[in-house]
Structure 1
Amino acid sequence: MSPLLILLIGILIVVGIIVFLRLGAFIALLTAAVVVSLLAPGDWVDKIPRMATAFGNTAGAIGLVIAAATIIGRCLLLSGGADRIVSSTLKLFGQEKGGLALMSSGFILSVPVFFDTVFYLLVPLAQSMYRQTGKNYVRFLVAIAAGAVITHTLVPPTPGPLFMADALNVDMTTMILIGGIIGFPCALIGLGYAYWIDGKINISPERLTEFLPKAKEEDSPPPSLFASLLPIALPVLLISGVTFGGRFLGKDYSSPIWNIMLELGDKNVAMLLAAVAAIIVYVRQKRPSFDDLSHEIQLSLSSGSVIILITAAGGSFGAMLKTADVGTAVQQLFSAEAASQGLFLMAIGYGLAFLLKIAQGSGTVSMMAASSMIAALIPPGDAMGIHPVYLALSIGFGSLGISWMNDSGFWVFSQMGGLTEWEAIKTWTALLAILSVAGFLMTIGLAIVLPNAF
């Protein structure tokens, strides 16, 4: 069977199961992986085992990182560390720059915490500020979304960018740094849109009464800013230390110091140490019983296990597309020179993720599916001409795409924010479309100016 037909069947299965059968991303991606493997060349006795092996390889590569990230995120919320980061940001910028403060808070917190959780955390602050000033509510909402959605899409250890980095062979340091370098200016563009759209939508205080809960009273003060930021900064410092240490100090494998740096800079070790730090901050701050601590960690791992399964299924789907030789088939549609050019692959990756986002709604699934397809197209060696991190970022921005009523983020934003569907389209949908296009153009520009990333 033609590899392109196999690719089309795989895409239709993912979209069909998610959109029409509503069985969820795990079932969709796993079913697509099984079908693609059955249709791809090879011995029949190997077709299911190779799919299962690819599933296990992906889970082994990123499972610990995702599990640690869920623990970090929950402990940050429980200890009050997230609140400390937000309050410190508000203090730094002041109430008059509340939009910038909320955008920055969302940008930082969405590194270890998933977008919907960050939004739930910050929306009450936006509502409280609106209660005090009586204005700028829409600005605050859109500012939160602009900051939080960018790092959720571009910066590991959230599942989408983590999967892309693994699939496209991008080291964590480069993914984090380049994602942040491009992501923050994009978030500022989103903040600019927040200021503009704020004057176009009028929301009466009466309509928002039920969405304006009283501020909660804390039973204990939050941890220090240093302790709050430590679980976020620690893995970044450890992982990047290996990258920059090897570059500037040399890779001396006979040196005990270098070997210690290698061990601590492993992404699994770094994230587990950060999780331990987050637990210590939580325990010192709230003094939970062992039963309460165990319960909270189990809750974290329960949510993380679902994400690990979805991510592993996405990896299995991508591996089976490679087995079906989809990359060669796509390259034959174009000239050999064009198909191997980095900018061409960036455009293809962006377009695939954009279309998948429109079709099935999930940005994470779009990133997984599109990066799996693009990974099959990457030429060997340095023939592509750019660092693969730019492919990952292009796919990430494509996955922002057009977010509408089939995207859970659309409903989180509208219902938690107290907006109508039409107001959500003018704010959330428009914001993500702007970030998608602006971010992709900035990625192209950086790829031209700095093709090797560092």
Structure 2
Amino acid sequence: MFSIFHADYWPFVILLSSIGLVTLLISKWRFHPFIALVLAAVYVGLLSPDLIAEGGLVAALESPMQALGTMAGNIAWVIALAAIIGSAMMESGAAANIVNQLLKTMGEKQAALALMLAGFILSVPVFLDTVFFLLIPLGITLALKTGKDYVLYVTAIGGGAAITHSIVPPTPGPLIMAETMGIDLGIVILAGLALGILPAILVIWVGKKMNRRLNIPVRIHSNDSPKVAKELSLSLSLAPIILPIILIGTASLYEAITGQIPEGLALIGNKNAAMAAGTGLALYLWARSQNLGANDLWTKIGKPLEIGGLIILITSAGGAYGAMIGQSGIGDAIKQATAGLDLHLVPLAWLIAAVLKTAQGSGTVAMISSAAIITALLGNNFDLPYHPVYLLMAMGFGSLFVSWMNDSAFWVVARMSGLTEKEALKTWTFLLAIISLAGMLQVWLLTWIIPLV
């Protein structure tokens, strides 16, 4: 009986059964994702013979908790600050100011492009659901005013936000993938912004095609008027987002070019310090726009910290699950199963993330788990003919495929836009599938053209 625990196929049994467990717990039995992921991590530990042999049954409990703490230590500060920046930009009017300035500059004819750019930019520090809540009233207002292009506006907003949400830190999924794979955060940010351009263009093209083919009326009349900070310039409104990117990116590029980095630049370019700088600026804008004193400001910060705390718990639990998958022996098992096969890791990484996303619905969980699997497959040997950031990007794009009824974002888009489930499948689900595939093909091609090694 116990011989099956040492069979070559046993790690695959652990992986597939744990994915099934997560899917059932979250999608069918409606467990909270934090509880579901911790239980899945313990489940993997109980089925991992090497772990049990070394530490006994108690190791199946202790190892996931240690992994959870380690992951939380790596990401908690950054995610908490990102939540504060997002709320501060919403409350100060800076976020709405960015949208309105883009619409004013680009004009009504380019309204879809302006909305897509707004979603693309704002989804870096602000979570996708919140970005959609902010922007969809503008899409509805424009559609009612012009009497056309509603599908285009919905897809532009959702598509732009989904891209950066999946491949640009400090959103949780890309952030944890970078930590898991040991890739410099600045490189991930710069690569994500660059590799998001082509899919963003594709969003507009696909949106226009669907807009001509589908006749979906506006069913929701929004009276929401986004708060606009008229005294803020576009550059000042963007500053809380741009400042951390510049600091982190500059330090990463300097080190990549010279092979070393001055201590002062390393300090200000550190993700924790850079995000703190962006947060300080966002809080200043928040306090100035609403004339808040110190006590009032710190009181208001409590709510985004509660939201950030929940995200930290879920993503850390996902990190614990991923870490336990990494200890299950799946890396060696995949190596043995694919020995002699000429497989490129980019489509494999994309496929793993895509399967995980389709099965259980959460893009973040899909990214975390697939990063753990790929890291286990490579072990400590990242000696690839291309930079490992390409694998990270492939998994980020894979986490967009397929968004359907088990994905919370699917329901946010459908309900806020007044779409039926069938209409959401024809628009949102189809759009993300196209973005996902195109993004993967782009990454695959670039590993040959610009390997970055």
- 1:398, CA displacement in angstroms? 1.1
When residues 356 and 235 of structure 1 are mapped into structure 2, their CA distance, relative to the original with a 3 A threshold, is: same
Residue 59 of structure 1 aligns to a residue in which SS? helix
**After superposition, where does 1:431-450 map in structure 2 within 5 Å?**
431-450=431-450
Quickly say closer, same or farther: Cα 1:244–1:358, change in 2 above 3 A: closer
Look up the match of 1:266.
270
In the comparison of the two structures, how many residue pairs are matched?
440
Cα deviation for residue 153 of structure 1 reads: 0.6
2:321 counterpart residue number: 317
**1:381 CA drift (Å):** 3.8
1:422 corresponds to: 422
Alpha-carbon distance in structure 1 between the residues aligned to 2:397 and 2:312? 22
Q: Partner of 2:369 in structure 1?
A: 369
2:18 matched residue in structure 1: 10
| Partner-residue secondary structure (3-state), 1:348 | helix
Asked whether the 8 Å contact 1:169–1:388 carries over to 2, the reply is no
Equivalent in 181, 193, 205 of residue 180 of structure 1: 193
TM-score, L = length of structure 1: 0.93
Q: Aligned partners of 2:147, 2:296: CA distance in 1, in Å? A: 40
Aligned sequence identity (%): 42
Choose which of 16, 35, 54 in structure 1 pairs with 2:67: 54
Give the match for residue 333 of structure 1: 337
Q: Give yes or no for contact 1:81–1:222 (8 Å, CA) kept in 2.
A: no
TM-superposed CA distance for 1:159, in Å, is 0.6
Instruction: Evaluate the alpha carbon distance shift between residue 203 and residue 330 of structure 1 in structure 2; reply closer, same or farther with a 3 A threshold.
Output: closer
Q: Which of residues 207, 212, 230 in structure 2 aligns to 1:221?
A: 230
8 Å Cα contact 2:189-2:249 kept in structure 1: no
Q: CA deviation at 1:217?
A: 7.6
In the superposition, relative to structure 1, how do residues 305 and 298 fare at CA in structure 2: closer, same or farther (>3 Å)?
A: same
Q: Distance in 2 between matches of 1:93 and 1:147?
A: 16
Question: Which shows bigger deviation, 60-69 or 370-379?
Answer: 370-379
Counterpart residue identity of residue 297, structure 1: I
Q: Kindly state the Cα deviation for residue 221 of structure 1 after the two structures are TM-superposed.
A: 2.7
Matches of 2:34 and 2:226, distance apart in 1? 39
Specify the alignment match of 2:180 in structure 1: 167
Distance of 1:97 and 1:194 partners within structure 2: 13
User: Per-residue CA shift, 1:261-308, capped at 9, x if unaligned?
Assistant: 111111111111211111011111111244542232110010111111
Q: Which amino acid aligns with 2:198?
A: P
- Match runs of 1:21-170 below 5 Å: 21-40=29-48, 41=50, 42-44=54-56, 45-170=58-183
Per-residue CA distance 1:312-370 (angstroms, 9 max, x = gap) = 111111221222222011111011674xxxx6222222112111222111111111111
Q: Deviations over 1:120-145 (max 9, x none)?
A: 11111111112221111111111111
In 2, are the aligned partners of 1:318 and 1:373 still within 8 Å (CA)? Answer: yes
Note the C-alpha offset of 1:397.
Answer: 1.2
**After alignment, is 171-180 or 219-228 more displaced?**
219-228
Question: 1:288 & 1:53 partners in 2: Cα distance?
Answer: 40
In structure 2, how many angstroms separate the alpha carbons of the residues matched to 1:290 and 1:362?
Answer: 37
Cα distance between partner residues in 1 of 2:36 and 2:155: 31
Partner of 1:296: 300
Q: Which stretch of the first structure deviates more once superposed, 385-394 or 114-123?
A: 385-394
For 2:260, the equivalent position in structure 1 comes to 251
User: Aligned letter for 1:17?
Assistant: L
2:355 paired with 1:350: no
**Structure 1 position 160, deviation (Å):** 0.9
How far apart, in 2, do the equivalents of 1:264 and 1:96 lie?
41
Partner of residue 413, structure 2: 413
Q: Which residue number in structure 1 is paired with residue 391 of structure 2?
A: 391
What is aligned with 1:278?
Answer: 282
Which whole-Å CA distance do the structure 1 matches of 2:180 and 2:212 have between them?
Answer: 42
> Quick one: distance in 2 between partners of 1:284 and 1:336?
63
Q: Residues 324, 282 of structure 1: CA spacing in aligned structure 2 closer, same or farther, 3 A cutoff?
A: same
How much does 1:72 deviate? Answer: 0.3
CA contact (8 A) 1:350 1:397 kept: yes
Q: Distance in 1 between matches of 2:40 and 2:340?
A: 29
SS in 2 for 1:376: helix
The C-alpha deviation readout for 1:232-261, integer Å capped at 9, x for no partner, is 011111111212223445636xxxxx2111
Q: Residue 414 of structure 1 contacts residue 420 of structure 1 at CA under 8 Å; is this kept in 2?
A: yes
Change (3 A) 1:376 1:31: same
Aligned counterpart in structure 2 of residue 19 of structure 1, from 20, 24, 27:
27
Shift of 1:222: 4.9
**Range moving further from structure 2, 280-289 or 106-115:** 280-289
Q: 1:417 to 1:383 in 2, by over 3 A?
A: same
SS of 1:385's equivalent in the other structure is coil
Instruction: Could you tell me which runs of 5 or more consecutive residues in structure 1 were left unpaired when the two chains were aligned.
Output: 253-257
Tell me, which stretches of 5 or more residues in structure 2 are unaligned?
none
In the TM superposition, residue 379 of structure 1 has moved relative to its aligned partner by 4.5
Partners of 1:241 and 1:336 in 2: how far apart? 41
Change (3 A) 1:220 1:430: closer
- Three-state SS of the structure 2 residue aligned to 1:386 is coil
Q: 1:370 to 1:217 in 2, by over 3 A?
A: closer
1:154-204 per-residue CA deviation (whole Å, 9 max, x = no partner) reads 100011111111112221111111111111210110110111111122234
Distance 2:393 2:345 in 1: 12
Partner of 2:241: 232
For the residue of structure 2 that corresponds to 1:199, the secondary structure is helix
Distance 1:65 1:218, change over 3 A: closer
Q: C-alpha distance in 2, partners of 1:219/1:368?
A: 36
Mapped contact 2:331–2:379 kept (Cα < 8 A):
no
